[in-house]
Amino acid sequence: MPDTVITQSTPLRKIVAARTRWPNPNLDRIKAITKDGPKLVDLWDASPVQRVSDAPSTEMILDLLYPDNPWLCIGKTLKYTPSRTLEYWKREPLGQYQYIVPSPMTGPVGLSKNGKRTSRSNSNTGPRRYLILDFDQGTRDQQAAIIWYLKPYAQLCLVMFSGGKGLHAWFSVLGAPEADVKWFFQYAVSVWADSKMWTPCQLARLPDGLRQDGNGQARQPVIYLDPENVPQP
């Protein structure tokens, strides 16, 4: 694996380097990308790993994504998100959980902005390993086309359905310069990605976890998985 995984960032820099805030959606760009782009079923078919069962495989996926047994912050609810090692987490029914901080934690406890001890904070979130693009706008076919369009610019590891409105795309960014990662993320925000996922300790949906909200329960299935792009720390 190369140290820098944002492979074609120069064109993106020219577009977004001058921005100091997250851009608004560029509807003309979105229309051009999605007009004849691949659809959700094409993304599914293009997955290097094809699902063979509908049974939850959360533990298997986490083993693949985090081969070094790091500290991970995982939660069933937004209020209770402890940080534990992956080996410890595998004693739990992870298929019943719904949230994860995509980058490993440095330990079980950090400090909040108010100086209070907490299991989830930017202070105990380690270097970025994955950058998550969360799409809530547009149709899933449009979201799939956008993800596929962004694929040449960074290493796409995983795409999952959030169980709600749309798709989450996991890109490997381990070792990439933070400036390059930010340029890539700014461009993604201009094509409907949610800017909140830039915060290091922001919770994302757990791959193959279980969404639980006022609308009931819904599986968060993985529809695209490429083990070759998983970072090796």
The predicted-structure confidence for 138-158, as pLDDT tens digits, reads as follows 999 999 999 999 999 999 999
- What is the pLDDT at residue 54? 60
Report for 3-12, 54-63, 109-118, 193-202: range of highest mean pLDDT? 193-202
Q: What is the mean pLDDT of the chain?
A: 89
pLDDT over threshold 50, residue 1 = no
Say how far residue 149 (Cα) sits from the centre of its chain. Answer: 16
Place of tokens 């970072």: 231
Instruction: State residue 2's pLDDT score.
Output: 31
Distances (CA, A) of 11 to 16, 73, 85, 184, 185: 9, 35, 39, 10, 13
Q: Is the dihedral of CA 130, 135, 136, 140 positive or negative?
A: negative
For residue 16, name the pLDDT band (cuts at 50, 70, 90).
very low
Rounded-to-integer distance, Cα 115 and Cα 117, Å: 7
Bin 172: left if φ > 0, else alpha if -120 < ψ < 50, else beta: beta
Q: Kindly tell me if the per-residue pLDDT of 13 is higher than 70.
A: no
Residue 159: phi, psi to the nearest 5? Answer: -130, 135
Taking Cα atoms as reference points, which of 54, 33, 18, 32 lies closest to residue 208?
54
What pLDDT score was predicted for residue 50? 79
Look at residue 43 in the predicted model and tell me its pLDDT.
94
Cα separation, 166 vs 162, in Å, equals 6
Q: What is the pLDDT of residues 89-116, one digit of tens each?
A: 999 999 999 999 999 999 999 888 888 8
Per-residue pLDDT band at 56 (split at 50, 70, 90): low
More confident residue, 218 or 214: 218
Region 181-194: mean pLDDT is: 96
